[in-house]
Chain A
C-alpha cells in the first residue's frame, strides 16, 4: 500500500482507537472465566461475615462471593447513593443502615422485592419492628432483611476507673448509673479525681444515645412531618447533653476522627456509649496492647436501638435470584449468630437472640464481659424508633451544633436555634 493511501487510513484508525479507549472502558466484570457466578457484597464498618462466606461457597460450588468494604459509614453513604443513581457499581448485595434505609423506603423500586423470593415465610423469625422497618407501607414490598440491631451498652476503661477510685466490676459500674443524671454525677466524681482523661469522648455520641431512648420518634413523626422543635423528647435529650458539656465531662473529640482513634489507644476518655456493633471498632482502634482494659456495663436509662442494618438486593444486580438467596442465608438466625460471635453485631432474629451461643457469649477482649447477656437484656427493653426520610442529614447538623457548644463557639440557646433552622432547611 502506498504511503499516500496509508496516511488517511492510519489517521482514521488512530482516531478510532483513541475514541474507543475513551468511551469503551465500562465493561462489567463478570467472572465467567471459571464458570462461577460472582456475587459482590457491599458493606461498611464490620459485618463479620468472613466465615459465612466460606461456608456458603463450600455449599454452593458455583458461587463466588466478594466483599467490598468501606470502613466509615460516612464514606459509604455517598458511594451508595452514586451507585444507585447511576445504576452501576452497587454489586449484588448492599448493606443499609437503619438511618439509610428510611431514605430508600421513600422510593423502594430500586431494590428487588424480597417477598418475590420467598422471604415472606421468614416474617416470624425477626423482631417484628425490625421486619416492618424494611417493609413498604402498603406491605407489598420488602426492601431488605434485618441483620443486627444496635443494642446498647456503656463501655468503660477499668484502668481509668480504678485510678479515679471508682468501682471496676461491671455490675457495680452499671449500678452507678441507672439514669443519665447519675451518670453525670459519676462523671463529676471522675473529673474531680483528675486522672487526666475525660469522662466521655464527645457530646454527640451521648446525645444520640439519650435521643433514641425518648420514645417512638425523633425529628419526624410517623406521618413524616418535621417535629424537631415540638417533640419534647428531642429537647430533653439536647438539654441533658448540654448539662454534661457544662459539667466539663466531654473530651470534645469528633467521633471517627484520627483523634478519636488515638483516644482509644491512649485512653483519653473513660466511657463511651457502645451499641453492640461498636465493640468491633473499639477493639480494632484500641489494639492488642489495651486488651482487657475495656469492659461493658449496662447503659443508663432504658434500652434503645442505635444503628443496626439490613441487607438488600439492588435491582441493578445481574444475579438477583442468587443474591436474594445469599441475603436469606446471611440474615438467617444462624448467620446472625456467627456474625455476633465474630464482631458482636447483636442479632435481630429471635432464634439467634435466644441461642445459647449468643446468650452465653463472653468477649475476651472486653475482660470476658458477658456481652451476649448484657445486650440481650438491653434488646428486650427495646422500643423501635421511627426515623424519617432526612433523619441522617438532620442528625449530622444537630451533632455539629452540639460540637459548637463544646468548642465554646455558641451558647446552648443559639446552637439550638441553629440546629432547628438547619433542620427545617434540609427537610423542605
Chain B
C-alpha cells in the first residue's frame, strides 16, 4: 500500500475520489482523512519517541533523582541534595578515573582514525580482490568485545604473553602490563584500535566514493602527487564523515568498560589494577554502585559522565565550526 505522507489539504483528494455516498458518511470520511494527514506522521514516528522515553529519558531522570539521595542497599534513603556531587568533586579516585579514561580515549581514537583514513584511501584504489579486502577490514567488528578482551589479555600476559615473548627475543625484560599506567593504557587501547579501525575505514571509504573523479583528474593535470591529492582533496571532502567518527569514538571512549574489566582479571578487576592504573569512569561508577553498594553516589558518577560527554561534544562542535 502506498501511503502519501505529505500533509496536503486533506479534503481535496477525498472529494475527487469519492463517488458520492450518503452525506454523513462523507462528512465522517473527510474528518478522518484530515485527522489522518495531521496526526499519522506523528503516530508513525511515535514508536521511537515512546521507546526513547521509556529507555532513555526515564532512566536519565531517575538516575538524577537517585543521585540526590543517600541510596544504599535496601533502596531509597534520605534526601541529601547535592552532597554526592560535592563529595565526588573531592574524590581522588574519581579524578584518577577521568584521567585514565581521557588518556585511553586519546591513545585509542587518534591512531585509530589516522590509520582508518590511510586504510580507506588505499581501499579506494583499483586493486585486485577489492571486495574481499573491503570485507576484511570489517571482520574485527564482528568479534565480540569479550573475545577480544580475553585474547588480548593473553597476548599481554605477564608470564606467558606473546608480546613479552617477542620482547624477550630482542633482549627486553618482560613487562608487567597490568602494573603501570602507560603499559596498561597501551594494552587496552590496542584492543579498541584493533576492533574499530576497520569500521571507521569503511565509513571514510563510503564518503570518499562520493568525491567527484574530476577533482582528482584536474589535480593530476596540475601535477599533484598522491599525497598532495590525499590532503588537499580527499580529507577536506570527507569532513562530515571525519566529524561523525570523532564524535562516535569520543562517546564510545568515554564509556569504555568491558576491555579494561576483562584485562584487569581476578576477583576485584573492577578497580582497574592494584592502584587503579586503568580504571575508567564507567568502571568507577559500577564499583561504587554495585560493589560498595552506594547507588546514590554511583548515580552521581553516571550523571557527571553524561556531563563530561556533553562538554566534549560542545568543544567538538565549536572546534569544527571554527575550522569551517
Contact = CB atoms under 8 A, between A and B. Distances in A.
Interface stretch (B241-249, B286-294, B308-316): B286-294
Contact of B40 (A11, A81, A396): A11
Contacts of B35: 8
B275 A23 contact: no
Contacts of A7: 3, 36, 40
B43 A15 contact: yes
B320 interface: no
Given A4-B36, A109-B74, A22 B268 contact: no
Contact of A14 (B1, B44, B176, B270): B44
Contact of A404 (B43, B46, B266, B274): B274
A258 B268 contact: no
Contact of A104 (B1, B14, B73, B268): B73
Interface in B155-194: 157-160, 176, 179-180
A403 B50 contact: no
Contacts of A85: 73-75, 295
A176 interface: no
Contacts of B291: 77-78, 392-393, 396
A2 B29 contact: yes
B154 interface: yes
Contacts of A4: 14, 29, 32-33, 36
B132 interface: no
Contacts of A12: 43
A285 interface: no
B114 interface: no
A121 interface: no
Contacts of A74: 267-270
A181 B138 CA distance: 58
Interface residues of A, number: 55
Contacts of B23: none
Interface string B243-282: 0000000000000000000000111111100110000000
Contact of B36 (A8, A72, A78, A408): A8
A256 B269 CA distance: 10
Interface residues of B, number: 48
A312 B162 CA distance: 46
Given A8-B39, A14-B44, A22-B47, A73 B274 contact: no
B179 A400 contact: no
B290 A258 contact: no
Contacts of B274: 400-401, 403-404, 407, 409
A234 to B, nearest CB: 18
Contacts of A15: 43-44, 46-47, 50
Interface centre among B39, B160, B179, B274 (most CB of A within 10 A): B274
Interface in A243-265: 254-260, 262
A162 B80 CA distance: 62
Interface string A1-27: 011111110011011001100110000
A409 B275 contact: yes
A390 interface: yes
A19 B275 CA distance: 46
B54 interface: yes
A55 to B, nearest CB: 33
A265 to B, nearest CB: 12
A177 to B, nearest CB: 26
A106 interface: yes
B74 A390 contact: no
Given A5-B32, A407-B176, A257 B265 contact: yes
Contacts of A397: 271
A94 B36 CA distance: 53
A11 B266 contact: no
A8 B40 contact: yes
A18 B47 contact: yes
B159 A259 contact: yes
Interface in B1-25: 1, 3, 14
Contact of A19 (B33, B39, B50): B50
B51 interface: yes
B200 interface: no
A399 interface: yes
Contacts of A259: 157-159, 265
Given A7-B40, A14-B44, A22 B267 contact: no
15 contacts: A8-B32, A8-B35, A11-B44, A12-B43, A74-B267, A77-B290, A81-B293, A103-B73, A255-B267, A256-B267, A404-B275, A407-B179, A425-B91, A425-B93, A426-B292
Interface of A: 2-8, 11-12, 14-15, 18-19, 22-23, 72-74, 77-78, 81-82, 84-85, 103-104, 106-107, 109-110, 254-260, 262, 268, 390, 392-393, 396-397, 399-401, 403-404, 407-410, 425-426
**List of 5 A-B pairs having minimum Cβ-Cβ separation, nearest first:** A254-B266, A78-B290, A257-B265, A18-B47, A107-B74
Given A11-B39, A22-B50, A259-B265, 14 more contacts: A15-B46, A18-B47, A19-B51, A72-B267, A81-B293, A103-B73, A109-B74, A110-B74, A254-B266, A255-B266, A258-B150, A404-B275, A408-B179, A425-B93
